[in-house]
Amino acid sequence: MVTNYGSLIEDDKGTISPRIFSDNTIYEQELEQIFARCWLFLCHETQIPNAGDFMTTYMGEDPVLVVRNTGGKVNAFLNVCRHRGNRLCRADAGNASAFVCAYHGWAYANDGSLQAVPNSQDAYYGKLDQNQWGLFPVAQIDSYKGLIFATFDSNAPPLLDYLGNFTWYLDNFFDRREGGIEVIGGMHKSVVPCNWKLPAENFGGDAYHVPWSHLSAQKTSFSNSPAYQQVSEGAMVSTGRGHVVLSLGPGGMSSPNMADIIAYEESIIPEIKSRLGQRSKLVTPFVGTVFPNFSILHSSARTFRVWQPRGPDKIEIWAWLYVDKAAPPEIKESMRLAGIRTFSPSGTLEQDDMDNWQGCSQAGLGTVARRHSINLQMGLGHESYNEELMGWTSDYFVSESNHRKFYQRWSQLMAGEAV
Ligand code: FES
Ligand SMILES: [Fe+2]
């Protein structure tokens, strides 16, 4: 039994134990202390725009039903029948006024209330109090710029406090143009034999791997624009509570190497600057993670994704592509294609990443390998709090400062600190 998480994470020394990527006891504790307490991303509101629209997802390993009820209010419930615990809704998404359990037919309205129970008069003698047996709701649900989050913890701070200064960085992805964004196409789901923290930390600030892991893909020249390949400035920013983002320098642009998209991005710079204010003259955020497992990328693909934990050494990637709602239809289509080429299960860059995350998870399974700490010392002591950027910021844009902040937060929550 692990009780001292400080011994696994030494953020002041920049070392961590590889056990956190493979140990089942640690994983069980993560489900309790992190996934059952933190605010977790459910879906974007454009995925459930109409009354009755729903989608099913997970919070940690708990199945969850997100549904806009007939009155238009969005809520989320455990996707578990209250009778004998069957999974209630089996569909990925759809529109329904009610959900009927496949096992014995208990029926719930789309507001979660139990509406009908077969044999309620003869077998239950009219004694079952249906008001007591509605679906279990999440403790809190809220949205920011169309992103719907929920938490199982009634003591968690409000969503806006939880996100804190990271909201400005989210605006860079989701609210840089009038109308915000919309999801295009369906969802990509894939299973990767790796621990959930590896992609979360990678998207949170691993500039180091890009010119090496992705060298072949970069050399094909269709994955990233030439401008990105010459990037030499930017910063890691950690705004607190484990939220981390990698930013390019002012005017930096990370785009697919497609002339129409590059021209589009250049054409909207004035609108972006006026919406995001002075701070956008300092940095251009392009990839980040909302702690614990929601990541966003605005690069060769525009994608947001959830790293759904499925045991200590397995995840499901649930990934969507998104575009500015105000973009012309031909640009939306170009971005959809660029996203599939690079960050889908068969995408050039995604495949590079998956292979490394798998290697990191599985090499640490060895009895002896797991005794030895691994190294997150890059840039240790070369970071400081930057008032303008509202977070801890690395001096040089290639650093592991965000990794250290991510794992510092992880160890605090694992030790039982408040969310
Ligand atoms: S388990 Fe759902 S109706 Fe029996
Ligand atoms: Fe990568």
Q: Is residue 148 part of a domain?
A: no
For ligand 1, atom 1, the nearest C-alpha belongs to 84
Sorting pLDDT into bands at 50, 70 and 90, what band is 10?
Answer: confident
- Shared domain check, 173 and 87: no
- Shared domain check, 303 and 196: yes
Rounded distance between C-alpha atoms, residue 317 and residue 188, angstroms: 8
Chain segment 256-296, per-residue pLDDT in tens: 888 999 999 999 999 999 999 989 888 999 999 999 999 99
Which ligand is located closest to the Cα atom of residue 355?
Answer: 2
Chain segment 175-228, per-residue pLDDT in tens: 999 999 999 989 999 999 999 999 999 999 999 999 899 988 888 776 776 666
Sorting pLDDT into bands at 50, 70 and 90, what band is 12?
Answer: confident
Q: Decide which of 108, 143, 178 is a domain's last residue.
A: 143
Q: Decide which of 143, 175, 206 is a domain's last residue.
A: 143
- Shared domain check, 349 and 277: yes
Which ligand is located closest to the Cα atom of residue 103?
Answer: 1
Q: Of how many residues is the chain composed? A: 419
- Say what the pLDDT of residue 56 is: 98
Q: Indicate which CATH number applies to the domain containing 175.
A: 3.90.380.10
Out of 82, 88, 106, give the residue to mutate to test ligand 1, the one with the largest number of ligand atoms within 8 Å of its CB: 106
- Say what the pLDDT of residue 163 is: 98
Tokens of residue 24, six digits: 């089942």
Residues tagged active-site: 104, 206, 209, 214, 353
- Say what the pLDDT of residue 258 is: 87
- Say what the pLDDT of residue 228 is: 63
Sorting pLDDT into bands at 50, 70 and 90, what band is 25?
Answer: very high
Kindly report whether the peptide bond that precedes residue 292 is cis, defined as omega within 30 degrees of 0: yes
Chain segment 26-35, per-residue pLDDT in tens: 999 999 999 9
- Shared domain check, 202 and 125: no
Domain count, the chain: 2
- Say what the pLDDT of residue 3 is: 55
- Shared domain check, 117 and 213: no
Q: Is residue 12 part of a domain?
A: no
- Cβ < 6 Å from ligand 1: which residues? 81, 83-84, 86, 101, 103-106
Q: Is residue 346 part of a domain?
A: yes
Which phi and psi angles does 181 have, rounded to 5°?
Answer: -125, 170
- Shared domain check, 171 and 121: no
Better-predicted residue by pLDDT, 5 or 190: 190
- Shared domain check, 182 and 84: no
- Say what the pLDDT of residue 2 is: 55
- Shared domain check, 241 and 128: no
Q: Is residue 20 part of a domain?
A: no
- Say what the pLDDT of residue 108 is: 98
Q: Is residue 28 part of a domain?
A: no
Find, among 78, 14, 16, 18, the residue nearest to 312 by Cα. 18
Q: Decide which of 111, 143, 175 is a domain's last residue.
A: 143
Which ligand is located closest to the Cα atom of residue 118?
Answer: 1
Question: What is the span of the domain harbouring residue 74?
Answer: 40-143
State what percent of residues in the chain have pLDDT above 70: 96
Q: Indicate which CATH number applies to the domain containing 80.
A: 2.102.10.10
Q: Is residue 7 part of a domain?
A: no
Better-predicted residue by pLDDT, 15 or 217: 15
Q: 349 C-alpha to center of ligand 2: Å? A: 6
State what percent of residues in the chain have pLDDT above 90: 85
Tokens of residue 415, six digits: 């030790």
For ligand 1, atom 4, the nearest C-alpha belongs to 104
- Say what the pLDDT of residue 219 is: 82
Q: Which atom of ligand 1 is nearest to the CA of 104?
A: 3
Q: Torsion over CA of 153, 62, 199 and 320, rounded to 10 degrees?
A: -100
Chain segment 124-181, per-residue pLDDT in tens: 999 999 999 999 999 999 999 999 999 999 999 999 999 999 999 999 999 999 999 9
Residue 90 has pLDDT above 90, yes or no: yes
pTM of the model: 0.96
- Shared domain check, 174 and 86: no
Out of 65, 104, 117, 135, give the residue to mutate to test ligand 1, the one with the largest number of ligand atoms within 8 Å of its CB: 104
- Shared domain check, 219 and 73: no
What rounded mean pLDDT belongs to the chain?
A: 94
Better-predicted residue by pLDDT, 252 or 3: 252
Residue 1 has pLDDT above 70, yes or no: no
Q: Is residue 230 part of a domain?
A: yes
- Shared domain check, 377 and 305: yes
* Average pLDDT for 374-385: 96
Rounded distance between C-alpha atoms, residue 373 and residue 243, angstroms: 24
CB 290 within 8 A of CB 243: yes
Q: Is residue 233 part of a domain?
A: yes
- Shared domain check, 191 and 60: no
